[in-house]
Amino acid sequence: MAQLVRLRGYSDYATVHALQRALVEARSRGTTPDTVLLLEHSPVITVGRTRGAEQNVLDAGGTPVVRVERGGDVTWHGPGQLVAYPIIKLEGRRADLHLHLRSLEDAVIDLLVDLGLEPGRDARNTGVWLPDGEGPPRKVCSVGIACRRWVSWHGLALNVEPDLRDGFGRINPCGFDTSVMTTLAEHLEPVPAVDELVEALGRHLADRLDVEVDGMMTTTAEALLASL
């Protein structure tokens, strides 16, 4: 039985990163179940494994910049953005990183369809995209993963109602111009609060990742890390 965990408040990136690493090790040993963390971060810029990604940090200001293990380029996390980190053992037919990426995208697509939107994919880029009138689609959800001993970590970030200018305006997100990013608030009126979307996204992730869950635990990153 997998566990869904809602982390309260704005979670410090370094603490959540340490929590992910501990969960990956525990899942590899079989001492903890598959776990999906759902949270909002305090502002942070993360840099993935793409060569030259650091050059896409334009003006970090006082925002921490952290190099991480996930695939992809540079992105921003912060308030108003719903982040999900599934720490999942990829075994059997699930031992397929491409399938895992598509499953994360599918879960977000399912959620946005529930909200009455028409999300889609970009054939050349990961993530979930929304149509934008006469212009090209814009990115509402970023996806980037890492895998260690067939346990996945990192995950996805859905822009609900973040401050795009103060966040993504500091970088070229995923190597694109800042204008490529959009939010649910630009497509829904009224826009749901992040807290209103947590349970639904968790349910869709469980469905798409083929894991069974029983309710959701609410705690902090610090408390969960201390329990491992």
How many independent structural domains does the chain possess?
Answer: 1
- Whether 74 and 103 have beta carbons less than 8 Å apart is answered as no
∠ CA 204-44-98, rounded to 5°: 40
Within the chain, which residues score under 50 in pLDDT? none
CATH value at residue 78: 3.30.930.10
> Tokens standing for 82?
């719903």
Q: Which pTM was predicted?
A: 0.97
By CB neighbour count within 10 A (0-12 exposed, 13-18 middle, 19+ buried), where does 67 fall? exposed
Greatest pairwise CA separation for the chain in angstroms: 51
Which of the residues are catalytic? 174
pLDDT value of position 47? 95
> Sheet harboring 213-219: ordered strands across?
120-122, 125-132, 135-148, 151-159, 81-87, 35-41, 2-11, 213-219
The range of the structural domain enclosing residue 104 comes to: 2-227
Please give the Cα distance from 24 to 26 (Å, whole number).
6
> Tokens standing for 133?
């009138």
